[in-house]
Chain A
Amino acid sequence: MSIRTDNLTWKIGRKTILDDVSFEAKPGQMLGLLGPNGSGKTSLLRLLAGLKKPHSGSVTLEGWDIKSIGRRAMAQRVAFVEQHAATNSNLKVIDVVKLGRFPHRSMFSGWSKADDDAVSEALDRAGMSEKRDDRWQSLSGGEKQRAHIARALAQSPKELILDEPTNHLDIQHQISLMRLVSSLPVTSIIALHDLNHAAMFCDRLIVMQRGKIVASGAPEEILTQDLLRDVFSVDARVETSPHHARPHIHYLR
């Protein structure tokens, strides 16, 4: 058991955004979070990262309610990549990635060899080593996204939460990012819009609609014609791909 939620409910004013959400992410697995716009994916991820408090229900990490875990201790094992994380500051890529070491350093401790190794490895994995000294404002959207992922990896997390990380990336970087996340030895929870990418890379999927979980399970179990029609309002045929043996969705005109 890694991250688990029980009967999670969250509201903005009187509007219920998340309604009785319960699920469990198994250690080391890549869990895809699907659903149309406004179905509550981002809100759920923010609750999982401890950035918002649920109105009722709980999020637990290894059986501990995250309410009882301090901010710093939480950041030492859970890393979060936001959907829109912009800045007007002109930091170097390396300085942004170094921010990932923040939870591991006390206020006065110096920069250690372990910190340096974690940052170098994170830059490597995200394919940003060559850009380490580039200024933030000179990066493309995709490079910024990969720098954010490097920052998250520098936190040495056991759980990685990503909110639509493939937005703004070209197809090469979309695929390489999905490959990267699925190869990491961490539990990852990733909100996605591309159903075929989700089917190809995720171990398990959760489908949300209007704040509720409407389906969960292995991609081949839940990605059906009926679900695509009912939840996403599209006509499609689902076949098993002869290339990667995962479900492949053909959208119909």
Chain B
Amino acid sequence: MTRVAFGVWDGTVHVAAPGAVDDGADPLVLENFDEFDEGNAIRAFFGDRGFLVFDDSVSLIDALYYYMAKAAEQSCGACTPCRMGTVLVRDALDRMRRGLDAPLDLDQIATLGAQMRETSLCGLGQTCAVALLGAVQHFRERLEAETATGRPIKAQHGMAYVTAPCIEACPSKINVPRYIDYVRDGKPENSLGVLLQKYPMAATCGRVCVRYCEQACRRKFVDEAVGIKTLKRYVADQQSGPHALKFTRDMIRKPLNPDMRVAVVGAGPAGISCAYHLLLRGYHVDVFEKSSQAGGMAQIGIPSYRLPKDTLALETDIIADLGGRFLFGQQLGRDFSIDDLFAQGYKAVFLGLGCQAGSQLRVEGENPATAGYFSGIDFLLKVHDHVDGIAPLALSGEVLVVGGGNVAMDCVRSALRLGAENVHVIYRRTLADMPADPHEIEDAKAEGVRFHTLCNPVRILTENGRVTGVELARMEQTEPGESGRRKVRPIPGSEFTMKCDALIAAIGQQVEDGALIAEDGIDLDRWQCVAADGTTLATSRPGVFAGGDCVTGPSTLIYAMAAGLKAARNIDDWVQRGSVRFFKRSRMRRLIADNRMLANDVVETPVRNAYRVHNPELDPELRKHMFEEVEQTISAKEAYAEAQRCMRCYRVYSVVTKHPIPEGAR
């Protein structure tokens, strides 16, 4: 186990010098802290809550310089103490580590550190001097000893990393405070530029993202989380129409030879994102898509009242702007095989197949061929065709939707719009357990959807080949198990019947035709998803990578787009070097996550309440009859106000290592 030689963490001094009296501090339990990469010991760690040294010979001066240099590089310059303090302290430490006379002594450095800590505007300035102050206060003699010789200190190895709770929570690691900065600065085009660094579908994400970032937002300790998604949509919409940013080929870092071709299978969010990043890396990308349109689940699975089709189409078109080619009507396993792709000269393949087969309830009387029975995903596909004018669909009477996820919410709200008189959600757990976005649940309720929780179908009733009703059992919650989660079980004898004209089973999806892919040498896991390495996204077949729903099971847009980016980076490595490199930023994130470094701390000083703005919405009575977009974009004035609410909880972390950390992909 990692042993702390000395340090200060959360205000507690740790000393493990031989013969030292135990100071009573709880020993820190550190996970996964021995090596940074293979054979490369972590000698010290510096962060927003203090620092920990594991190797007594580490130079504090050099490490603190390195840390403060990162803070100075990241200082936004808005407030006085951080803008100037980081630079002055950095420069003084730099002189010290070079063995030169410094313009500031340790007391003056500590005074500036305290000024930054106590008077800075945002999280970066407030935290970047914590380690420094701990060192000066508790280990001053070490600092003085290091500079006493007047000789230069040898530069140490390591890396520094800047993040924030919202960034760490985002699967795509969007630099959230930065794009909010740009809104506040009055440069929404740069804000969109920050988003486009990670994925091309900003307007889409700004409409349908489930907002992991907002759950992590520390503003909620003051009043409410910052409207990160609302701002994303604002900048994306603001840069549309005549002001749209142009995607030009000079975005491509270095165009590669024509033989550097990669095949992407599936034009959903994962495939689009992967294609985008491969194109930016200079590859020639063909996207194979079984349907006639790009977008995957974002196209067919998200109703147009949440995501207008033209909004999505503008963003998938970016692939073509960058020279990518869509090959529509091409289904893996039916129209081509993976062998075919390699035979055609593709250097690598990305599988972004999605999960497009609806799961069945597996209850008595269930037959997908029965009139009035739909799986959730099939139903949304029909809704899509209805909106597109391909095949009109009308509902009437009572409609029952089984399930509590976002797909179920999309089904109920679409059913209303198609003319159903009453729409019901059937969910076997409680309302609080529903995996759907609470905002979606609220919207559905506002439109008149009725929720029936703690009940579960046991039998489907049919007459003359039509669904006529469902027999349901009431459920009860068990005592919490070891995991702390309550399970549910049916209450014997509680069965009752609900009549209905249509039944939609929206309880999950699976990879379609998984067996066909297995024949191509791609292993599936026990849930019949594509088996891919968690770090590299490589499948069992060399040169084939996979990501998105087909690997994880039904998940979110943002996870799929994140997987696409990760896959593109790894495919690039694999094609250029034959293997996937160590990626130091991922390692740093592991370190931070495993040890819960980003403490979800309270905000200690009073902050003025300023409640978030909300997207204007169409009236529920009006909107429930149509498929036009429900939510509207906020105004510039509202965007400026919302951006002002971000507290910029940036944190700097650094490690000192024994050897240089290998450079990974860029």
Answer yes or no: are A and B bound together in one complex: no
